[in-house]
Structure 1
Amino acid sequence: MKQRKKFDQINVIPLIDILLVLLVMVITTATFIKQGILPIELPEAKASDKKEDQKEFDIYITKEGKYHLDKKEISISDLEEKLKSIDPEQTVVLRSDKDASFQHFVTVMDMLKKLEHKQLYIVTKE
């Protein structure tokens, strides 16, 4: 009769290997989730064009029919002059009160179309 070997110890080395692999995977994915992007450093070039951060222009139309440019009240003629002086690629954000006359909204839209502005956002509430 053969005598059986007693197992009085557990071999934990394979368990430790699996835990280390899982730990590496968790740390790697947690880094990407926290930053949201891959951490890279861009190369430098001497002849590159620097893109300037262009400011957004916010146009507000109140329910009384008053126009505001970046929260400062402005007349419609001054608004047109200001829009003529900015680049048509500049972002313009239009916020109109829901109780404002639709004609005020159309006036600003017509002005932007005439000046060939391409970056227009109309803000609404969900």
Structure 2
Amino acid sequence: MRALKRPEGINVVPLIDVMLVLLAIVLTISTFVASGAIKLDLPKAASAQTKPVDKIEIALNENGEIYWNGTPVTQEQLITKIKELNQDSSVSVRGDKKAFLSDFIFILDQLKLQKIDKISIITKRDI
């Protein structure tokens, strides 16, 4: 007579693996959803001020001429205008592809000396 084998049961290890992956996904998604979930109605104050942020565009043409928001400036005038900027200012720099690299580096160097970090270099999209 043959001995009857006892059923081994269900292997739960793969089930636990799947559940842990699902838990990780739920926790990750919930952090993104919760970040914008706090609704606030801020109080008003008569002394509240908004801090103006300058948006500046500096352009460099192929002849080495520098333009500050469309107005031609010399290198000395550029240095003076950059020193007047707020450190939170956003500066866009556009340079002609035929312009000298040294002129372009001069502009970037002056911005970095004044600790202006929000610098965008404008290029044309190559399609």
Query: Number of residues paired by the alignment?
Result: 87
| In 2, Cα distance between equivalents of 1:69 and 1:55 | 12
User: Partners of 1:125 and 1:48 in 2: how far apart?
Assistant: 44
Cα RMSD (Å):
2.2
Q: What pairs up with 1:1-126 in 2 under 5 angstroms?
A: 43-46=42-45, 49-126=48-125
TM-score of the superposition, structure 1-length normalised?
0.61
> Given residue 115 of structure 1, which amino acid in structure 2 is its aligned partner?
Q
1:53 shift after superposition? 4.3
Question: What is the alpha-carbon distance in structure 2 between the residues aligned to residue 80 and residue 70 of structure 1?
Answer: 14
Equivalents in 2 of 1:61, 1:115: separation in Å? 19
Unaligned runs of 5+ in 1: 1-41
* Aligned partner letter, 2:66: Y
- Find the aligned partners of 2:52 and 2:113 in 1 and give their Cα distance: 25
Q: In the alignment, is the contact (CA less than 8 A) between 2:59 and 2:66 conserved in 1?
A: yes
Asked if the contact 2:54–2:86 (Cα under 8 Å) also holds between the matched residues in 1, the reply is no
Matches of 2:124 and 2:118, distance apart in 1: 20
Q: Distance in 1 between matches of 2:101 and 2:42?
A: 50
Q: TM-score, normalised by structure 2?
A: 0.61
Alpha-carbon contact 2:94-2:123 (below 8 Å) kept: yes
**Which residue identity does 1:75 align to in structure 2?**
T
Q: Which runs of 5+ in 2 are unaligned?
A: 1-40
Identity percentage over the alignment?
22
